Structure 1
């Protein structure tokens, strides 16, 4: 499941980071700090999301 988790995180983390950055830019916050915080939060939120998805996929396969 570790490889599955890492594969999913490599897709989910950047996706959530991109959504966060786009949301921050849409709100008009164009300085570096809000953009970096949004990207970091997206990557951080990607960890539990990838773990949950990987666990559910592994449970279905078993």
Structure 2
């Protein structure tokens, strides 16, 4: 469980940051598109972290 939490803390913020940069690059400079990009990054991180955590645990 601790591994999953640590991975999600890193992976969620990384993917949220990537999505925010993509939104800003696409020209969405208002608040809501940036918030939605961050939320999408955290949601996408859930299955990614689950798969990575499963691989790391063996």
Smaller-chain TM-score range? over 0.9
Q: Which residue in 2 is equivalent to 1:50?
A: 49
1:11 aligns with 2:16: no
Deviation at 1:19, TM superposition (A): 0.2
> Unmatched 5+ residue regions in structure 1?
none
Counting matched residue pairs gives 58
Q: Which residue in 1 is equivalent to 2:23?
A: 24
> Unmatched 5+ residue regions in structure 2?
none
Distance 1:4 1:37 in 2: 27
